[in-house]
Amino acid sequence: MKKLHLLLAIVLLTFSMKAQDVAMVTPIKFDEKNRFKTSDDDFTPLLEETTYTYKYKGKNVLVIYTKDEHVEYFENKKYFIKSDIKWTSEEECYMTLKESNLPNFPFKRGTKLHMKIKKIKRGSIYYETTLGGYTWEGKMKKI
């Protein structure tokens, strides 16, 4: 019986040491919500390298997404809002405001906006955005 306990202890120790060795060499990252990620390549963002439009005060706003930047252009590119973008999953990201020349724009550099894509239907993206404690839904159409 003692030999069985000893053998069982050795087997368990062997497996736990291998798991520990794997854990020590695997890069571990956490996103803004402290969710575990093994690498930045675990997913492909739904809006990477795409262009959309949405209506604001009856006028079209052009929205361009690249791998790590989000730009909104107003009034035929006369005004803009530029943000760094960090994707936390295929459908969720945080945008951090870099600069804007939009008149009366109430937010300062470093302000973070959270966006979650709710659905994609007929070339449109339906999303939920949170900024400054306020949450709203919107829709963008792919160009």
In a domain, 102, yes or no: yes
Q: Kindly tell me the burial class for residue 109, based on how many C-beta atoms sit within 10 Å of its own C-beta (0-12, 13-18, 19 or more).
A: exposed
Whether residue 25 is found in the same domain as residue 56: no
Between 133 and 79, the higher pLDDT residue: 79
- Buried b / exposed e over 78-95, threshold 16 CB at 10 Å, is eebbbbebbbbbebbbbb
Containing domain of residue 58, as a range? 50-142
Number of domains the chain contains? 2
Whether residue 137 is found in the same domain as residue 68: yes
For 81-138, give the DSSP string. EEEEEEEEETTEEEEEEEEE--TT----TT-EEEEEEEEEETTEEEEEEEETTEEEEE
Whether residue 18 is found in the same domain as residue 68: no
Beta bridge partners of 142: 52
In a domain, 124, yes or no: yes
pLDDT tens digits, one per residue of 85-126: 999 999 999 999 999 999 999 999 999 999 999 999 999 999
Whether residue 90 is found in the same domain as residue 118: yes
Residue from 123, 127, 113 nearest 81 by CA: 113
Beta bridge partners of 72: 63, 81
- Residue 16: which H helix or E strand, with range? helix 2-25
pTM of the predicted protein model: 0.69
Q: Is 54 helix (H, G, I), strand (E, B) or coil?
A: strand
pLDDT tens digits, one per residue of 4-43: 443 444 433 344 333 333 333 334 444 455 554 545 557 8
In a domain, 19, yes or no: yes
